[in-house]
Amino acid sequence: MALSRHLPNCPVALQDSLSTPARLTATATTKLPRLLLLALGLVYILAGLFFRDPWKTDDVAGLATMLTALEGSWQTWLLPQIGNMAYAQNGPLITWVGAFSIWLFGPLFEIFTSPLEAALIASRLPNLLWFGLITGSVWYGTYLLGRRPEPQPLALPFGGEPTVRDYGRMIADAALLLILATVGIIWRLHETSEVPALIAFQALAFYAVARMLDHPLSGAVTLGVALAAAFLTRGWIGSLPILLAVPCIFIPRSALWPMKHWLIISAVLAVFLGLLWWIPANHFSTYWIHNWWLWNATSFGLPRYQEVLSVLRDLPWFLWPTWPFALLALWRWRAWLFAPHIWIPLMFMLWPFVVMLFLADAFEPEYSLMAVPAAVLAAFALPTLRRGVVNSLDWFAVMCFSLTCATVWLGWIALQAGWPEQISHNIARQTRGYEAFVSWPAVAIALLGTLSWIAIVYWRLHTKPAALWRGTVLSACGIVLTWLLLVTLWLPALDYVRSYREVSGHLAEALQTHQRPGECVRGLALGTGQRASFLVFNDLRFSYSADCSLVLQQTSPEAVQSGAADYTPHARVLWEGKRGADRREIFRLLRIEP
């Protein structure tokens, strides 16, 4: 009967037959300093967000739709486009938010920098909003579940177990730190793409469902907004996992079953908000809507052997280090499977996985929908671990991230000094043509971050804290430091390898020389990322008309050498260019002679 004070509403038979796997003392739930949590979150999101070029494809494509909306008609706000190309694979929400941010803050930043750089900075301000939604929803949603009676630790014979408030706060802190430690989403949260917004709205849906346990009305309204926002962000791919998860959460054995009728409000609100965009969009451009339907429909299909293997191969790396703990939580809490703290995140993790098995090309944007529920489940595994296991995981985090940080430093030294020779040779192959230089402010920030990591490791070794969140702090700080070193020491080289700024400038100069007044340029086999990059950097737009006498062709050096890239005997090559380090693509400006 030890659980009787924790489960006042449960039948006596249930209390006698089930014993909570959580074993915890009050010292293990010592409050994590809020300043540390805030500082870690700020470093996480600010590092690498500004002062870099947009990279292909999703990053620069999202920015291109924002700039097109600002420079085009109001229909380009309603229906996202990249120049003359209908960009119908996503919804319009990130275009609205990003374009509004550029319109509002761009003139302010132009006081200090060029219009292009001002637009780049302003376009990434919404990432702060998405990150705030993610962290806030994860923390408060997990806190609401963690303070419920079901996940409370076993009452100790002589007292000393944590209070409900302290236990819930510790679990919420751990979930937030585990989200920060998730390897796969760290770069994606810094993109001007649909991915950060999609993760944010799924996290908001998780919080909304958890909120419905205590406040059904506010939770139902929030869930409706989250559903509509996910749909307006990435269509059915973004909203279908939530649509499938929510009904499964409200099954008869769930604690949410009595609140099922509140889902009517969520459904009506979601449909209403979706139709506010859909009706005018369908009225003004059936072509765009047709392409949107076509993209959504062709994205789904029966599971294919190769795609399933690809998902099973890549997903563990993307969700590291949360997925092993999420599976452990399911095992340890298997007798409490339908308790809200397990059932809600399980459904939010299961259905994105099921949906991606039926996608034709599932990749990181789809993987990212599993990050939040995996982190929440992993947090509930921590109170079930023995002290020796927790200490071993602490040591693993210390050794793993110390090694990754040392590797980043060693690679940078090889890039700058040419030693060690083998590492320097391998890096030179990937950065062919890049002239290395030292940015001393960036090096100073990297050194400060490294010293902070050494201080954290020293704190762990010498103070031997009993707080259960210590391992998650080490993991989150380790991944944040690795990211900080990459975006300070390696950012110029990464820009050189992944940015189209230089080749776009050369193409613009070639067009100034060869393009006649009123002459259009048609793109031939031009990818979405490349088309978006040329628009962003030099406002170059390419027609689809067959009457254009200038053609920009994207091909490969091998095709040029073999003659497979020859377009027509009447085509004359005016210019050739490529990114310095790219060995797979080349651009040619052709003039089609009569």
Domains in the chain: boundaries: 12-49+124-384, 64-123, 387-497, 501-592
- Whole-angstrom distance, CA of residue 20 vs CA of residue 327: 17
- pLDDT recorded at residue 318: 96
3-class DSSP assignment, residue 63: helix
This prediction has a pTM of: 0.94
Position 118, amino acid: A
pLDDT on residue 245? 97
- What does the pLDDT read at residue 5? 38
Is residue 241 a contact partner of residue 411, using CB atoms and an 8 Å limit? no
The residues with which 576 forms a beta bridge, in sequence order, are 588
DSSP-derived pairing of the beta strands 550-555 and 85-86:
unpaired
CB atoms closer than 10 angstroms to residue 125? 19
CA pair distance 476, 456, nearest whole angstrom = 11
pLDDT at 212: 97
First to last CA, the chain: 92
What's the half-sphere exposure (Cβ side, CA atoms, 13 Å) at 424? 10
Q: What are phi and psi of 158, to 5 degrees?
A: -115, 20
φ/ψ of 307, rounded to 5, equals: -65, -40
By three-state DSSP, how is residue 402 classified? helix
Nearest to 7 by CA among 148, 101, 169: 148
DSSP 162: P
- Positions of the chain with pLDDT under 50: 1-17
Cα(210)–Cα(140) distance, rounded to whole angstroms? 9
What is the reported pLDDT for 18? 59
d(CA 152, CA 192): 40
Instruction: Mention every residue, 6+ apart, whose C-beta is less than 8 A from residue 531.
Output: 64, 82, 83, 85, 523, 542
The span from the CA of 63 to the CA of 55, in Å, is: 10
Predicted confidence at residue 118, as pLDDT, reads: 97
Q: Which tokens hold the place of 406?
A: 């040392």
Which candidate, 148, 142, 150, places its Cα nearest to that of 171? 142
